[in-house]
Amino acid sequence: MVRPLVTRYVGYAQDDVTLAVHRGLPSRHVTLVISLAGPVRMAGRSLQGLVGGLHTRAVLIRQDRVQEGLQLELDPLGMRTLFGVTAAELSGEVGDLADFGLGSLPDRLRSLPTWRERFALLDDVLAARAADPVATPAEVGEAWRRLRGADGQVRVADLAAEVGWSRRHLGERFRTELGLPPKQVARVLRFERATRQLRRGHADLASLAVECGFYDQAHLTNEWRALAGCTPGTWIAEELPFLQDQEAEVARS
């Protein structure tokens, strides 16, 4: 019951973080973060557990030297089932995990000695919430799957025709469920693909732009400024080494 609603769990533990501020980039997921160390600090808030909706601007997160916690990537169409709200209600926002009846979860996870046991607890908690799944319109689900599968490189008019709706109606239903219209979702998906490729070492920005559905390198750079708050080059220099170190640490955990 949980697997279709959750893309993955990530456990992380680091004790020498040097990057003072991390950019939480837009992605296709609703993000659930549970800190097992100090609270997560962003936009004047400090939260031990949080749920972040789809967004089109980077979220700036202040980082402590020591970090430990879990991050879950959730399918936005599963939010009704898991949290009793639509992804649209969290679009561009960050909610306190305690507001969803899970305020004790950080302490429960912290008390467990291994990642395996922590992931098993998450399975149990989410499975209990997924016992009575809430369906979303099949047309929205199909359009969402098509957009994800194409990494945003599909025309909205074609998408609407495929599901048998007008472009306007598809846009309205997407806003109702996800908080973003299809065109903005496609924009985030193209950006996310470019991010994945940069993390894999794809350094030729001109060819990357074409591969990911941008008009040209200038379009790619402008979208990065809008969505990430910096150019690709700045992100590669400031953030990528930190992320690669973090991934190596996760792999060892």
Domain boundaries, the chain: 3-133, 138-238
Residue 249 has pLDDT above 80, yes or no: no
> What pTM was computed for the model?
0.92
pLDDT of residue 248: 41
- Give residue 77's identity as a one-letter amino acid code: L
Find out whether 142 and 94 touch, Cβ atoms under 8 Å: no
- Among 3.10.20.600, 1.10.10.60, 3.40.50.300, 1.10.1240.10, name the CATH number for the domain at 138-238: 1.10.10.60
Residue type at 76? P
Residue 166 pLDDT > 70: yes
Mean pLDDT of the region 144-170: 96
Q: What is the dihedral of CA 140, 143, 146, 148, to 10 degrees?
A: -60
CATH class of 3-133: mainly beta
